[in-house]
């Protein structure tokens, strides 16, 4: 049987590719035969390291392009570098994101704008620029990385929740407008995941991630590869008739009410 998860020969751009979900996705793409992965992040050292690791352990070519996805010119250069190096772009994973938490009543306008710039403007710019080439190719896949905050909201995260909800609707409209070009767009809404940055933040805040386990039906905190595996599925031919959807990757629904039995 053909392996529907095989990415042989395909070129993928992955933002936020130096750590966590982005790095795990790049490694998984390489393991499934991607022709090339282009890693984008503001920190060049991290994406350089991941690119070197991939080229040293697989036949996948890897290119690190330092990029601030909030800056239009930087995104234009990222896509141009991809086309120059590999001649096409088949997969775009909009993974770069982040938040600033705080009570709504004391949220500065600058913080609100910053959250939207990273979580909505960045994916828009990357999608538009990569989309030009996907439309010309009449093929392409886009996977946006959202959050459970965009589905259910999160206290003290009004801006982040609103931005991730916007990203989910952006995904749906992209799929609706570009389906006629053979382009699919889907989204993953991520729950609690022990990425490097999350673990560091938990340490600073004195949070024990094990304290969250009881509220997760599967009884564990997620790992970056758990999300990367879903991104691989949505990027591959195994999901060829799936578009415009948001998939929760969160260990199961957290239900209210008493615990019985």
- Beta strands 246-249 and 91-94 are unpaired
DSSP state for residue 117 in the 8-state scheme: I
Residue 220: Cβ within 10 Å count:
15
Q: Which residues are catalytic?
A: 160
Residue with tokens 């991290």, as numbered in its chain: 46
Can you tell me the distance from the alpha carbon of 96 to that of 122, in angstroms, rounded to the nearest whole number? 8
DSSP label at 58? S
Q: How far apart are CA 209 and CA 216, in angstroms?
A: 11
Pairing mode, strands 91-94 and 61-66: unpaired
Helices (H), 65-221: 72-86, 109-116, 122-137, 149-152, 158-178, 196-205
Helix (H) or strand (E) holding 186: strand 183-190
Inter-residue contact 192 to 209 (CB < 8 Å): yes
């Amino acid at each position: 049987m053909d392996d529907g998860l095989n990415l042989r020969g395909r070129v993928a751009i992955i933002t936020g590719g130096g750590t966590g979900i982005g790095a795990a996705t790049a490694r998984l793409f390489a393991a499934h035969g991607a022709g090339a992965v282009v890693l984008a992040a503001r920190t060049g050292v991290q994406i350089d390291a991941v690119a070197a690791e991939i080229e040293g352990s697989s036949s996948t070519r890897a290119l690190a392009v330092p990029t601030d996805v909030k800056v239009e010119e930087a995104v234009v250069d990222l896509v141009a570098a991809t086309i120059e190096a590999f001649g096409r772009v088949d997969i775009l994973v909009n993974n770069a994101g982040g938040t600033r938490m705080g009570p709504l009543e004391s949220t500065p306008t600058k913080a609100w704008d910053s959250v939207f710039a990273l979580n909505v403007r960045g994916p828009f710019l990357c999608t538009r620029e990569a989309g030009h080439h996907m439309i010309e190719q009449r093929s392409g896949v886009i996977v946006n990385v959202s959050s459970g905050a965009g589905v259910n909201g999160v206290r003290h995260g009004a801006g982040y929740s609103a931005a991730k909800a916007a990203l989910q609707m952006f995904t749906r409209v992209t799929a609706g407008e570009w389906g006629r070009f053979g382009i699919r767009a889907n989204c993953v809404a991520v729950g609690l995941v022990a990425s490097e940055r999350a673990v560091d933040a938990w340490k600073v805040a004195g949070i024990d991630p094990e304290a969250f386990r009881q509220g997760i039906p599967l009884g564990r905190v997620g790992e970056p590869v758990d999300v990367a595996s879903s991104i691989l599925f949505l990027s591959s031919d195994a999901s060829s008739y799936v578009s415009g959807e948001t998939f929760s990757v969160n260990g199961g629904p957290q239900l209210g009410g008493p615990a019985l039995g």
